[in-house]
Amino acid sequence: IGPAVVAAYLLAGIMMIPPLLAKAELATAMPKSGGTYFFVERSLGPLLGSFAGFAGWFSIALKGAFALMGIGTFWTYINPDAGPVTFKIIALSFVLVFTLVNLLGVKSSAKSQVIMVAILLVILAGYIILGSSKSEKIVLTDFIPRDANNLFLVAGMVFVSFGGLTKVASVAHEVRNPGKTLPKGMFLSFIIVIIIYVLAIGVTVSLLDTETFNTTLTPLSEGGAVIAGRTGAIVLAAAALIAFATTANASILSASQNPAAMAHDGLLPSWVGKTNSNGVPVPAILITAVFMALSILLLDLTNLVKAASTMMLILFLLVNLSLILMRESRIVSYRPQYKSPLYPVLPILGILLNGFLIYSMGVMPLLLAGGFFVITTLWAVLFRHEKPKRDSALFRIVERMAAREIRGTRLSEELGEILRERDGVDEDRFDQMIRKAIILDLPGKLSQSELFEKLAGAFSLKLDTGYEELLKKLNERENESTTLIADNLAIPHIVLNDEEGFEIVLVRAKGGIIYDKDRPEPTVVFALAGAATERNFHLQCLMAIAQITRSADFQERWTEAFDEEELRLLILLAERSR
């Protein structure tokens, strides 16, 4: 499409916004190894999860192999006599180098990335500035595409150029303070990348004649030659080498996280996910490196990369769908520190745009992607012998629409563990009491006397005091002063003079509790019963309850919690002083 390739890059960048925002939210809610695989598996289930894991692994690894092969093309500016064998030797050498870098750990890999990216940005900035001063007068109409179909086809092919913006989600567990660092890093990278793409390509279009631009495989180096002769061409070739090297390095780093996460979930042998003392998934990195090396040696990467691009588009579509399912599942432990704006418009728009780009890629990539899905599905069914120890967000939505009897394992519990790890929460005695507390989830409206009867029955199961004595104490305490603390909160509490220990009972009364005809009908009840020697802990519990129930979204989450265990998680994950 000639100069209109600028518009294709701009269009691809705009289409990248929905999946970028979706991944930013999902990564801050679930900062775990595996990135897209983890998000899709936990939201859509193991079949699509296995596809996402293998597709993400192979597409990123193939992109890295293709980048290393691309180094050979630019190597001709340094050594004009270099041939295909030399290109492959160079590519394999870089596979070895970046494998060693990644085996040293994420910090080592990140440092090398920072250095290479900094050098690349300096060179590209110089190219844009010097090229702008030497380029001919830019005619904006040259950048307007003549054929919309070709525009979307090219946009689909260059879309993968923006894929690296979300690779950091694969190593979110290595990031400090992911709630702030991940979104800021992804957004800043997106802005810088799209500006550089558009300006660098725009300058190149203005420097080269149409025939040269349409036929050369190294347009930026040709532009560098226009600016500063052979020296300029070599400098831009060096920049391209650095760009391909950073792509390959990041590919090994992020692609290796997929098999490690899949091994943890039982989709691959357990030894694949093993890490060394520094937390580096050595087997996964080595397998990824071997796959890239074999791809370089044996395969014609052109068609495979096109198929990999299609699979990457499918993955971004699934990421947008994952965001919708996680939001709509209303799992109490899904608590992203960043939320994608304009929900649900943006993720739905992202699904439609990704779907259209996939359609524009043609029949063959779709057939390859479909065949890949069949193979990965068979692998998931045949290899995984044990049922996953959790449900999915999709399953949770079905649960809400159907009978509770079909409920599965608890995704919310796994997300709760992730949140505690993410936020560095250390459980105190109040948390320990909540973990073993009896929780009554009552569907209808009930009176105060009915509430106290149920509380007395629950406490009698935990304490030595009998039902009648407990009921008497509850009524006596209420006669002294009401335990209706707020419009929607009651805290019945009694002191057992001859007892040791402390117990808590939680009650959700969905229809409300009639305390008094002229008073609000609370749905939240924290009931406390303990020995006189536990007065200090009693006060600590009241303070914790006050902090929990005063949070802005507590009432909404309390109402939407699916069952007793989600009510328990809601209290355990609440932000409060510990």
Among residues 254, 279, 237, which one has the least CA distance to residue 105? 279
For 441, 454, 523, the CA distances from 445, given in Å and listed in that order, are 12, 13, 9
Structure confidence at residue 533 (pLDDT)? 87
Q: Which amino acid is at 527?
A: A
The three-state (H, E, C) secondary structure of 154-212, written as one string: HHHHHHHHHHHHHHHHHHHHHCCCHHHHHHHHHHHHHHHHHHHHHHHHHHHHHHCCHHH
Residue spans of the domains in the chain: they are 2-382, 427-572
Dihedral, 541, 543, 545, 551 alpha carbons, nearest 10: -160
For 31, 170, 424, the CA distances from 177, given in Å and listed in that order, are 10, 15, 10
Alpha carbon distance 338, 21 (integer Å): 9
pLDDT higher than threshold 60 for residue 567: yes
- Among 70-84, 210-224, 447-461, name the most confident range: 447-461
Alpha carbon distance 113, 246 (integer Å): 6
Residues whose CB is less than 8 angstroms from the CB of residue 400 and which lie 6 or more positions away in sequence, other chains included: 329, 330, 562
* Span 100-118, average pLDDT: 73
Contacts 24+ apart (CB under 8 A), 95-101: 95/68, 95/248, 95/289, 95/292, 95/293, 95/296, 96/289, 98/245, 98/248, 98/249, 98/252, 98/289, 99/252, 99/285, 99/286, 99/289, 101/249
At residue 55, the 3 state secondary structure works out as helix
Burial degree of 475 (CB within 10 A; 0-12, 13-18, 19+): middle
Q: What is the pTM of this model?
A: 0.79
At residue 388, the 3 state secondary structure works out as coil
Alpha carbon distance 254, 158 (integer Å): 20
Q: Which amino acid is at 253?
A: L
Q: Where are the beta strands (DSSP E) in 287-442?
A: 438-442
Residue 553 DSSP one-character state: T
Residue in this structure with the two tokens 């890059």, named with its chain if needed: 9
* 427-572 topology per CATH: Mannitol-specific EII; Chain A (3.40.930)
User: Half-sphere exposure of 252 toward its Cβ, with a 13 Å CA cutoff?
Assistant: 36
Alpha carbon distance 149, 312 (integer Å): 20
Structure confidence at residue 137 (pLDDT)? 56
pLDDT higher than threshold 90 for residue 545: yes
Alpha carbon distance 94, 102 (integer Å): 12
Which CATH superfamily does the domain covering 2-382 fall into?
A: Amino acid/polyamine transporter I (1.20.1740.10)
Mean pLDDT (the chain, rounded): 83
Structure confidence at residue 285 as a pLDDT band (50, 70, 90):
confident
CA angle, 306 then 312 then 314, to 5°: 110
The tens digit of pLDDT for each residue in 231-258 reads: 888 888 888 878 887 788 777 877 777 7
Q: Is 137 or 275 the better-scoring residue by pLDDT?
A: 275
Structure confidence at residue 395 (pLDDT)? 72
Alpha carbon distance 262, 272 (integer Å): 9
Alpha carbon distance 61, 107 (integer Å): 20
310 touches 358 (CB < 8 A): yes
Alpha carbon distance 331, 267 (integer Å): 25
CA 173 to chain centroid, in Å, comes to 10
Residues whose CB is less than 8 angstroms from the CB of residue 562 and which lie 6 or more positions away in sequence, other chains included: 330, 331, 332, 396, 399, 400, 412
Q: What percent of the chain has pLDDT over 70?
A: 87
For residue 313, what are its two tokens?
């588009």
Residue 119 DSSP one-character state: H
* Span 98-123, average pLDDT: 77
Alpha carbon distance 337, 141 (integer Å): 43
pLDDT higher than threshold 60 for residue 389: no
Least-confidence region, from 50-64, 391-405, 477-491: 391-405
Alpha carbon distance 42, 261 (integer Å): 12
Q: Is 508 or 560 the better-scoring residue by pLDDT?
A: 508
What sign does the dihedral 254-259-265-270 (CA atoms) show?
A: negative
54 touches 76 (CB < 8 A): no
Structure confidence at residue 405 (pLDDT)? 45
Q: Is 305 or 167 the better-scoring residue by pLDDT?
A: 167
For residue 412, what are its two tokens?
């919310």
Among residues 413, 325, 425, which one has the least CA distance to residue 26? 325
Structure confidence at residue 391 as a pLDDT band (50, 70, 90):
low
The tens digit of pLDDT for each residue in 401-425 reads: 654 444 544 677 778 888 788 777 8
Among residues 325, 329, 396, which one has the least CA distance to residue 557? 329
Structure confidence at residue 219 as a pLDDT band (50, 70, 90):
confident
For 65, 74, 230, 381, the CA distances from 220, given in Å and listed in that order, are 21, 11, 12, 48
Q: Give the length of the chain.
A: 578
Rg of the chain over all Cα atoms, to the nearest angstrom? 29
Burial degree of 165 (CB within 10 A; 0-12, 13-18, 19+): buried
CA 70 to chain centroid, in Å, comes to 30
What are the start-end ranges of the H helices in 424-514?
429-436, 448-460, 467-480
Structure confidence at residue 406 (pLDDT)? 44
At residue 15, the 3 state secondary structure works out as helix
pLDDT higher than threshold 90 for residue 21: yes
Alpha carbon distance 93, 26 (integer Å): 36
Residue in this structure with the two tokens 């440092």, named with its chain if needed: 111
